[in-house]
Amino acid sequence: MNNGSYYPSDVIDQVINESDIVHIISQYVTLKKMGTSLKCCCPFHSEKTPSFVVSKDKQLYHCFGCGAGGNVITFVMEVEKLNFIEAIKLLAEKANITLPENDKYNHEINNKRDRQIQLHRDAAIFYYRTLLKNDHAKEYLQMRSIEKSTIKKFGIGYAPNSGKSLLNYLLQKKYSVSEILDSGLVLRNKNNSQNDMYDRFRDRIMFPIQTITDKVIAFGGRVLENSKSPKYLNSPETSIYSKGKHLYGLNYAKKEIENDQIIVVEGYMDVIGLYEKGIRNVVASLGTAFTLDQGNLLKRYTKEAVVIYDGDQAGQEAASKAVEILEKCEVNAKVTILPEELDPDEYINKYGKQAFFDRKVESLAVIEYKITRLKQKYNTNSIDGRINFAKDMAMYLSELNSSIEVEAYLNKISMDIGISKESIIQEIKKNKLKEHKKNNNGKYRNEKLQYSVKSANIIAQEKLLNYFLNNPKIYPVIKAKITAQDFSKGIYRDLAEYIFSKLENNEKIEESKYIGRLLDSEQVKIASLIFTSDESTIKEQDISSYINTIKKFSIQGEIRILQEQLMNANIDEQKNKIYYEIIENKRKLENL
C-alpha cells in the first residue's frame, strides 16, 4: 500500500474513521456473526469454509486462508483494483467527505484516467455520428427492429471500413499517439510508424460499454452480415476497463429493476432487443464467462437474477456456470431455458413479449435446472444412468446448507428414478465425510506450508505480539523480560515499538490507523494477521518459550554482526573489544 504524499494524515484518518469496515465489506459479501468477529468466504480466493474474518472493533479484516488483510482502504484497493488515492476518493465519496484539491494527484494520476474516459466519449460520439450518415448500418438496425430512440439511448454507432477514420478523428481532437494506443481502439504494426496505425474496429455496429455512472470505458463491435471475421469483437483490457468487472446495460437496468429482479443475458443485441420490447431490467455479461466480480456487482442492485442464455449446448453450459457463481454471491438465481436454436433477442422477436414472460415464469431454480441438465446427460431409463444421476445429485445436495431443501429434493429425485432416499442419503454422507477430510488435510497442509517458510523466530514474534494485544494487563509483568529491540528489524520491531509504547502509556491501540501508515502490502498482511489473530489462551510456559526464542535469534543476529566486524577490524584494541562483546553475547545465550 502506498499513500504517497497526496493527502495529509488527518484527512486519511477522517476517511478511515467515517468508513465503517463492516458496512463497506457488506456491500461486496454477506458477513455472518461468529463469536466476537464476522466471517465469510474470502472474496479474494475460492474457498468453501469461511476463513475471512472482519473485526468491527479493530476495523480490520484478515483471511487466514490466503493471507489477505488490512483496513477499509486496503480492502477497497484490492476488491476494486484501485490505487491508494483512488480508494481514498471512493471512500470519501461514500462518506460525503470533501477532499482537499491536490494538483500533483490531479495531473499525474487522475488526469490520465480522465483523458482516457474523455477519449472514449469522443470515440462514442464519432461512431454515433458515423452511423447517422451510413445507410447500410441504419438499414441493418432497422432490419433488427431497433428504433432511433433506442439507438440514441444506448449510443449505438458504426465503425467505418476505411481503417483510419477513428485514428484521424482522435488526432484532430488533439489526443497524443500514446493516449490513442493506450485506449486499445487503435493498433500499430511492428515497425512503429504512425503510418502503420489502424482502427481496431472496422465495418461493425458499435456498442459503448458504460460504467454504472454512464462513463464510456470500452466498446463491443458486431459484424453487419455473415463474415469470416469474428461475430463480436471487444475492446481489450485497459487502464479504465476490466471486462470481467462490468455488466453491459447495468447503468440503465439499475433504474428499471422490477420485483427486485434482473435478467442476465449473453450479448449486447439481447439487451437491446429486450429493451425494444419494453423489458428494461436486463444486463449482459459482455460476451465472457460470467465472473465472481460480476456476481458481486449484481448483488448490489438485486436479490434475484434470471439467467436467459442461448438455447444451444454452449449457452446452457455457460448458464450452468453463471448460476453457480450467482449462488456463491448469495444472489437467488434461476434459469430460463429457450429452444435450442434461439437466443433471447430472436425468441422475443419470433414469439412476442407475452411468450417471453411465460417462459420466464417457468424459470427453474438452480437445483431444478441441475436435475434437468443431468437427465439430459444420463439415460435414466437404464440402471447405469440412474446410478450416475443419483451420484451426481448426491454430490450437489451435499453442498446445500438447508436440510429442508435437501429433504424436498430427495423426495423428488427418489420418486423420479426409483432409488431409495436412504441410499441417496448414504451417498450424501459419504461425500460430506470426504469433503471434511479434504478440508482438514488441506488445512493441515496449508498451515504446515505456511509455517515451514516462517522461522521459529517469526512465529514467536507474531504470537507474542498478538498475546499482548489480547492480554494488555500482562505487559507490566513481562516488559522486563523483552524489549522492542529484541524483535527483528522492520515491521516486527516497528509493531513492537508501537504496541509497547501504547501499553506503557495506557493509550488506545488504533490498529486500522497503524495499518494506514504502512507503505508495503506484505507489511499490511503481517500487521493484519497479528492484529486479528487470537492468542489469548497461550500457556505461561509457551510465553516464556516465545520470549526465549525471540531473544535467542536477536542475540545470534548480534553475534553474526560482531563476527563480521571482527573480520574487518585492523586494530588489536578494536578486535579485543569486539571479541569480548561476542563472549558476552554467547554467555547471554547460555543463560536463556
Lowest mean pLDDT among 72-76, 103-107, 407-411, 481-485: 103-107
Q: What is the pLDDT of residue 409?
A: 77
Q: 52: which DSSP letter?
A: E
327 pLDDT above the threshold of 90? no
How many C-beta neighbours within 10 Å does residue 537 have? Answer: 9
Domains of the chain: 9-94 (3.90.580.10), 110-239 (3.90.980.10), 242-364 (3.40.1360.10), 378-439 (no CATH), 456-591 (1.10.860.10)
Q: What is the pLDDT of residue 225?
A: 77
Kindly report, residue by residue over 243-253, the tens digit of the pLDDT. 888 999 999 99
- Full strand arrangement of the beta sheet holding 364-365: 282-284, 261-265, 304-307, 332-335, 364-365
107 pLDDT above the threshold of 60? no
Q: What is the pLDDT of residue 152?
A: 96
Highest-confidence segment of 7-21, 259-273, 284-298: 259-273
Which sign does the torsion angle of CA 109, 115, 118, 123 carry? negative
Lowest mean pLDDT among 17-26, 138-147, 565-574, 582-591: 565-574
453 pLDDT above the threshold of 60? no
Q: What is the dihedral of CA 69, 72, 78, 79, to 10 degrees?
A: 120
d(CA 355, CA 517): 59
Q: With pLDDT > 70 as the criterion, what percentage of the chain qualifies?
A: 90
Cβ pair 53, 87 in contact under 8 A: no
Mean pLDDT of the 363-386 span: 82
* β-strands 364-365, 52-55 pairing: unpaired
Q: What is the pLDDT of residue 110?
A: 59
pLDDT tier at 5, thresholds 50, 70, 90 = very low
d(CA 50, CA 63): 9
Which sign does the torsion angle of CA 161, 237, 178, 76 carry? positive
Q: 47: which DSSP letter?
A: -
Long-range contacts of 441-445 (CB under 8 A, 24+ apart): none
- Full strand arrangement of the beta sheet holding 216-223: 157-159, 204-210, 216-223, 232-234
pLDDT tier at 519, thresholds 50, 70, 90 = low
Q: What is the pLDDT of residue 6?
A: 62
Judge if pTM exceeds 0.75. no
Nearest Cα to 481, choosing from 582, 588, 586?
588
